[in-house]
Amino acid sequence: MPAEERRPALEATEPGFSASQIADIEEFVAVAPRMQIQDAHVFVHGEEEICVGDIATLELKLIRANLREGEAIGAAHAPRFPGKVPEAWWLTFRLPGKGKSGTSVCRRISDISREVVASVRFRVPLAGKCRLRLTLTCEAYAGSVNAQLRAGQGSELRGEAGAATRAGRRQ
- Boundaries of every domain in the chain: 1-31, 33-170
Q: Which residue has the higher pLDDT, 126 or 14?
A: 126
> Residues 62-108: pLDDT tens digits?
988 888 888 888 888 777 789 888 888 888 888 887 766 778 889 99
Q: Residue type for 74, please?
A: G
Fold of 33-170: Immunoglobulin-like (2.60.40)
Q: Which residue has the higher pLDDT, 43 or 9?
A: 43
Q: Give helix 3-12 / helix 19-31 axis angle, nearest 10°.
A: 140
Give dist(CA 139, CA 73) in Å, integer. 14
